[in-house]
Amino acid sequence: MSNIVSPSILSADFANLERDIKRVENAGAQWLHIDVMDGHFVPNITIGVPVVASIRKVTDLCLDVHLMIENPEKYIEPFVNAGADILTFHYEAVNDVSAIIKLIKSFNIKAGMSIKPKTSVDVVYPYMNDLDLVLVMTVEPGFGGQKFMNECAKKIPYIKDNSQKDLIIQVDGGINAETAGICTAFGANSLVAGNYIYKSDDITSAVKSLL
Ligand code: DX5
Ligand code: ZN
């Protein structure tokens, strides 16, 4: 079985971002997870459009951009222009889900939708055929290094059983080799990991253990 591994640079050294991107690229990661936070949708502020544009210049990895922001529809075009390959918005942050999916897809990139731990999996069903990716949060969004919430992973089979076969089901939060196993057994095929990879003594082995 092969998983798409998307290391979260939130746990990387921002003063050595290119070095830390190359480390996961050389280890075989296929995507790079970029957490965009606005201090409103979540209580933390991280990366914005100019950083994504700079990252685009130093890597060919698929840029998997997780938008934890209010009014994400305002920022789709700027992130597309910066080089994002996937834009994942939060269900809880938008009023018109269909419109933002259509907007993202109009730029010929992948559209993802994420649900927070307390959001019911049912909200995903109406949009499943239009989405390329569903991100099931396994922690409350906002910070790296939190503990995996097993009950969130139980949403995965409901998505898998109701979706078309090429939907990407991604998990994010507290993922390590053990919790990744729980999620892939449930049907996840894309794994985001921040601390497990970047705080490891052996980044290469950490990435490979998730592939
Ligand atoms: C949390 C972010 C995650 C975070 C994961 O809100 O969406 O992508 O970087 O970090 P770990 O893997 O350390 O839980
Ligand atoms: Zn994330």
For ligand 1, whether the C-beta of 88 sits within 6 Å is no
Q: Which of 147, 127, 125, 9 is closest to 66 using CA atoms?
A: 9
| pLDDT for 128 | 94
Closest residue by Cα to atom 6, ligand 1, is: 141
Q: What is the 3-state secondary structure (H, E, C) of the chain?
A: CCCEEEEEHHHCCHHHHHHHHHHHHHHCCCEEEEEEEECCCCCCECCCHHHHHHHHHHCCCEEEEEEECCCHHHHHHHHHHHCCCEEEEEHHHCCCHHHHHHHHHHCCCEEEEEECCCCCHHHHHHHCCCCCEEEEECCCCCCCCCCCCHHHHCCHHHHHHHCCCCCEEEEECCCCHHHHHHHHHHCCCEEEECHHHHCCCCHHHHHHHHC
Active site residues: 35, 172
Atom of ligand 1 lying closest to residue 144 CA:
10
- Name the residue of 146, 179, 190, 198 to mutate for ligand 1: max ligand atoms within 8 A of Cβ: 146
Residue with tokens 């209580």: 43
| pLDDT for 165 | 75
| pLDDT for 1 | 56
For ligand 1, whether the C-beta of 146 sits within 6 Å is yes
Q: What is the pLDDT along the chain (211 residues), one digit of tens a residue?
A: 599 999 999 999 999 999 999 999 999 999 999 999 999 999 999 999 999 999 999 999 999 999 999 999 999 999 999 999 999 999 999 999 999 999 999 999 999 999 999 999 999 999 999 999 999 999 999 999 999 999 999 999 999 999 877 899 999 999 999 999 999 999 999 999 999 999 999 999 999 999 9
pTM score over 0.85: yes
Token readout for 14 is 């921002």
| Half-sphere exposure of residue 186: CA atoms within 13 angstroms, side-chain side | 24
For ligand 1, whether the C-beta of 20 sits within 6 Å is no
